[in-house]
Amino acid sequence: MKIKIDHIAKIEGHAGFVGHIVKGDIKKAQIEVQEGARLIESLLIGRNYEDVPVITSRICGVCPVIHCITSIKALEKAFDIQPSKETILLREIMLAGQTIQSHVLHIFFLSATDFFKDRDGIDLAKEKPEIVKKVLRLRDFGNNIIKTIGGRSVHPITPKVGGWHKRPTKEDLEKIKKESKNALAYSKVLIDLISSLKMPTFERKTEYIAYSPTNKYIGYIGEVKSSNGWSVKEEEFKNEIEEYQEEDLVVKLTSHNGKSYATDALARLHLNSNKLHPKAKKVLASSALKLPNYNPFYNTLAQSIEVMHLVEETQKNIEELESMHWKNLNTSFKIKSGEGAAILEAPRGILYHYYKTNNKGIITESDVITPTAQLLVNLNDDLKEYLPRIEKYSKEKREHEILKLVHAYDPCISCSVH
């Protein structure tokens, strides 16, 4: 039996699915990426370092902030720049805004809708206006953070190597803090909605890999950790994993010791859950998500718990910023030849940027590894195991179940190819 889904809706970018089963034996089950190659890494070669955050933001319209900031972090390493504490906190707040808006888009519009009759965010908005209004306002909260600090929600303008083109005022942050009270309540509404959905029972053990900050659940300074017990510095990450390109494939995939691994909200929960803020920790403890958990459908619930944590994190970070000087947000620096590798947690997992510059600040080498490029292999492995369970379903129901699993992963195909 051949199963083919030409165009998957409700994901960022373009992909399909192909499956091939012969007498119960899964010959093939994989995502087919249908995205064009924009060759972003090579477009940076020969350009000034200041163009890098501008161009790499355009890798993804859903998660531009993380590409922008990760590229800046890598370039600051290349130039030996130590950003100010205030700058790091502001970046963390912006990244929280990014993950909140991206998660809410995914949780509600792209994934949870699979569990309702209409399977469509816009129809659901008309059907359940009260819940949807709260969900939309929660997403607006994330977007407003990015807009307040970054100047715009899609493709932020203000971040630059060394600091900011323009910085927000303390009053701007005070406003975010005020809005956060409602956002916290709305995040509970979202968690309750997701908790009420009946997740398919499915498990496949995998390795979880995530960036683990020293004192934070998601944060700027840390190292890469694995559920198998190892850890490496961000500079060493590329040597730890294998990046490979199967013939004609436009995505370069990754594996660890020849096997697939997961890097997503579930991976973060497994490695960093002890650093969740109190309310999110409490919700996790009373939820159906018991760790360890190898059911990828729970990624959506994990994300919604993260949203609550990130609202709390933003409150805390703003309080910390309020007590600081705010005099020298920007760090002065000298352009020099150098190289830098940086990792931060994108909404979908580990994002790696690497740059080499000459003494005029011109980019001579660049490399980007996105979360989706890493998790596609894990998704394909899950699809292979999930398919036999749904083989007997009607064509429509089977397709729906496949899409449900794909949507749970929240793949960003635009990012994966870039």
Partner 1 sequence: MPKLKTAIISLTCCEGCQTAILDLGEKLLDITEKLDLRYFRLASGVRKFPGPYDLAIVEGCPVTKDNYKKLKEIRKQSKILIALGSCAHLGGVAEIKNYGDKNEKMKYVYKNFEKIDNPDIKSIGEVVKIDGFIPGCPIDNREFYRFVMELANGKNPKIAQNPVCYECQLRENGCLLQKGKPCLGPVTLGGCEAICPSNNFICEGCRGPLEGTSMKKLQKIMDGKMDKKNLMKIAEIYGAKNEFEEQ
Question: From the list 2, 85, 128, 152, which residue makes contact with partner 1 (rule: CB under 8 A)?
Answer: 152
Q: Closer CB to partner 1, residue 62 or residue 377? A: 62
Q: Closest distance between partner 1 and the C-beta of residue 57, in Å?
A: 8
Strands 2-5 and 15-22, bridge-based pairing: antiparallel
Q: Closest distance between partner 1 and the C-beta of residue 64, in Å?
A: 6
Residues 398-417 that bind partner 1 (CB under 8 A): 414
- Describe the crossing of helices 170-195 and 278-286 by its angle, rounded to 10 degrees: 0
Residues 64-93 that bind partner 1 (CB under 8 A): 64
Q: Is 58 in the site for partner 1 (CB under 8 A)?
A: yes
Q: Is 136 in the site for partner 1 (CB under 8 A)?
A: yes
Segment near partner 1 (CB under 8 A); pick from 2-10, 174-182, 198-206, 375-383: 2-10
**Tokens at 16, concatenated:** 């399909």
Separation CA 283–CA 335 (nearest Å)? 47
Q: Closest distance between partner 1 and the C-beta of residue 52, in Å?
A: 11
**Residues in Cβ contact with 245 at an 8 Å cutoff, skipping those fewer than 6 apart:** 251, 252, 253
Q: Is 242 in the site for partner 1 (CB under 8 A)?
A: no
Mapped onto helix, strand or coil, the DSSP state of residue 392 is coil
Segment near partner 1 (CB under 8 A); pick from 22-30, 154-162, 186-194, 381-389: 154-162
Q: Is 179 in the site for partner 1 (CB under 8 A)?
A: no
Question: From the list 1, 2, 22, 36, which residue makes contact with partner 1 (rule: CB under 8 A)?
Answer: 36
Question: From the list 3, 55, 191, 341, which residue makes contact with partner 1 (rule: CB under 8 A)?
Answer: 55
Q: Closer CB to partner 1, residue 113 or residue 180? A: 113
By the 8 A CB rule, do 263 and 374 touch?
A: yes
Segment near partner 1 (CB under 8 A); pick from 182-190, 243-251, 309-317, 382-390: 243-251
Q: Closer CB to partner 1, residue 2 or residue 152? A: 152
Q: Closer CB to partner 1, residue 34 or residue 287? A: 34
Cα-to-chain-centroid distance, residue 226: 17
Q: Is 339 in the site for partner 1 (CB under 8 A)?
A: no
Question: From the list 128, 133, 259, 360, which residue makes contact with partner 1 (rule: CB under 8 A)?
Answer: 133
Q: Is 139 in the site for partner 1 (CB under 8 A)?
A: yes
Q: Closer CB to partner 1, residue 141 or residue 220? A: 141
**Residues in Cβ contact with 23 at an 8 Å cutoff, skipping those fewer than 6 apart:** none
**Residues in Cβ contact with 282 at an 8 Å cutoff, skipping those fewer than 6 apart:** none
Per DSSP, the residues of 75-121 read HHHHTT----HHHHHHHHHHHHHHHHHHHHIIIIIIIGGGGSSS--H
Separation CA 207–CA 226 (nearest Å)? 7
Burial of 151 (0-12, 13-18, 19+ CB in 10 A): middle
Q: Which of 413, 368, 412, 344 is nearest to 45 (CA)?
A: 368
Q: Closest distance between partner 1 and the C-beta of residue 9, in Å?
A: 5
233-263 as b/e: b if 16+ CB within 10 A? ebbebbeebeeeeeeeeebbbbbbeeebbbb
Q: Closer CB to partner 1, residue 47 or residue 177? A: 47
Question: From the list 18, 28, 32, 34, which residue makes contact with partner 1 (rule: CB under 8 A)?
Answer: 34
Residues 299-328 that bind partner 1 (CB under 8 A): none
Residues 4-23 that bind partner 1 (CB under 8 A): 5-14
Q: Is 127 in the site for partner 1 (CB under 8 A)?
A: no
Q: Is 39 in the site for partner 1 (CB under 8 A)?
A: yes
By the 8 A CB rule, do 369 and 240 touch?
A: no
Separation CA 304–CA 112 (nearest Å)? 11
Q: Is 40 in the site for partner 1 (CB under 8 A)?
A: yes
Place of tokens 């190659």: 37
Q: Which of 4, 20, 2, 106 is nearest to 399 (CA)?
A: 4
Q: Closest distance between partner 1 and the C-beta of residue 418, in Å?
A: 9
Q: Closer CB to partner 1, residue 29 or residue 124? A: 124
Burial of 11 (0-12, 13-18, 19+ CB in 10 A): buried
**Tokens at 301, concatenated:** 């619930």
Footprint on this chain of partner 1 (rule: CB under 8 A): 5-14, 34-43, 45-47, 51, 54-55, 58-62, 64, 105, 109-110, 113-114, 118-123, 125-126, 133, 136-137, 139-140, 143, 151-155, 157-158, 165-166, 245-250, 252, 414
